Amino acid sequence: MSFFRLTIAEDEIAKKTEGYRNLMSMLYGFTIAFSVTLVSGFWYAFFPRDINWNASQTVLILHLAGGVMSLFLFIAYFFLHQQDKKQRWYMLLMPWKLRQEEDETGQHFRQRQLGHLLTWMLLVIYATGLTLSIPGLLFYLGTVWMQGYYTSQTLIAAHLWGSVLLIPLLFTHMLWIARRGS
């Protein structure tokens, strides 16, 4: 039994389909890229940069590259996961229409609500991260532009605290799946 049983594939025949293998490949790739991004981001945020400036910049580049890679893998995984669960992707834009189906258990409904919250948290984290990286990218293109101080501090706080809040939500989501599978 895999810890990451995130599909409705309950029997061995359904697990051998190409869609299931694609979904699991995206999940494993996203997990690795997201883990690298998370560890390097917390390292960059909490480790003093004045000890070794070059190592700090290397960690920042690793964080940016991992973040972009995990964003692309998250988008692919999201659409495959929605297709596998037979849900429409645009329901994410209308969370007020998220209702419990008649044949759906309460735990599955709460897990679906948590999945929507996780998706929105990830979108906020990715949006703030990309917005924070714009001045650096523009500098490498030859343009100097800085966001305002309070704008930068607000984006940094949203990015950092969104990541901190995401961790327990992600573990809760995964533990519910493991509990349902046993």
What's the helix, strand, coil split of the chain in %, to 5? 75, 0, 25
Tens of pLDDT along 49-91?
A: 788 888 888 999 999 999 999 999 988 888 877 776 666 666 6
Q: Is pTM beyond 0.75 here?
A: yes
Share of the chain above pLDDT 90, in %: 35
Q: Using a CB cutoff of 8 Å and minimum separation of 24, what contacts does 136-142 make?
A: none
